[in-house]
Chain A
């Protein structure tokens, strides 16, 4: 069964550094999402992406965040200057219609 993959599985970074989280959605999917889960809390929507542009973003998704689909297969989330409060699990998801398929997540720790 096709699946969404994410790299890296874990990343530790220093506050103020840039990080790029990578996702490979399922190949025929058209809609892409990033979600975030701070430890012990529920999963929150960050951004949705369709037809090479952002279709919706949450208030969490400020100017420090950006997304890109650089080559038709990868879908990336960039955090320009990480803060301590960016420490969380980040999930990528994709869909063609109906249900969303979630990747295994990237656990980001900002020190």
Chain B
């Protein structure tokens, strides 16, 4: 089945710094979602991005489907950005999601 890997596994930043999180997937996909898991465990949808680039405030994402990767950019990071970031891709058929291994981000004040 499809494999989804994320890097780096852990990231520590000072407030105000920028970062890039990467999601690699082993097979072609027709969708990809980025989530932020907050300290309460909730999965907050960030982007639904099968291809191209999207921006939402300080966050933006780019998916290059032909090369099987997606990038999440966080600019001017804030302490509230801390948490775990997951990407997820659907399988064919039932469209169940395969989640990546996650990047744990800690932003220091």
| Interfacial chain B residues near A100, Cβ < 8 Å | 33, 90, 95, 97
Contact present for A56 and B93 (CB under 8 Å): yes
Binds B, one of A18-26, A44-52, A62-70, A78-86: A44-52
Give which listed residue, A56, A89, A91, A98, contacts B94 with CB less than 8 A. Answer: A56
Asked whether B48 lies within 8 Å of A105 as measured between CB atoms, the reply is no
Q: Inside 8 A of A95's CB, which chain B residues have their CB?
A: 95
Whether A98 and B86, one on each chain, are in contact in the complex, defined by CB atoms closer than 8 angstroms, is: no
CB <8 Å contact, A43 and B41: no
Check A42 against B99 for contact (C-beta < 8 Å). Answer: yes
Q: Which of B42, B86, B95, B96 contacts A105 (CB 8 A)?
A: B42
Residue on B with the closest CB to A91? B43
Does B7 make an interface contact (CB < 8 A)? no
Contact A43 B86 (CB under 8 A): yes
**Contact residues of A: prevailing secondary structure:** strand
Bitwise interface map of A from 22 to 42 toward B, beta carbon under 8 Å scored 1, else 0: 000000000101010100001
CA A95 – CA B100 in complex, angstroms?
20
> Is B60 on the interface with A (CB-CB < 8 A)?
no
Total chain B interface residues with beta-carbon distance under 8 A: 22
- B93: nearest residue on chain A (CB-CB)? A56
CA distance A58 to B46 in the complex (A): 26
> A37 to nearest B CB, angstroms?
8
Complex alpha-carbon distance, A45 and B2, angstroms: 13
Q: Does A55 contact B (CB under 8 A)?
A: yes
Chain A proximity mask over B68-109: 1 for CB below 8 Å, otherwise 0: 000000000000000000101010011111111110000000
CB under 8 Å from chain A, chain B span 29-51: 31, 33, 35, 40-43, 45, 48
Complex-state Cα separation, A37 to B84, whole angstroms: 13
A55 contacts across to B, CB distance below 8 A: 93-94
**A–B Cβ pairs within 8 angstroms, 20 of them:** A31-B94, A35-B97, A42-B101, A43-B86, A43-B99, A45-B96, A45-B97, A48-B95, A50-B94, A55-B93, A56-B94, A93-B97, A95-B95, A98-B48, A99-B33, A100-B33, A100-B90, A100-B97, A102-B35, A102-B43
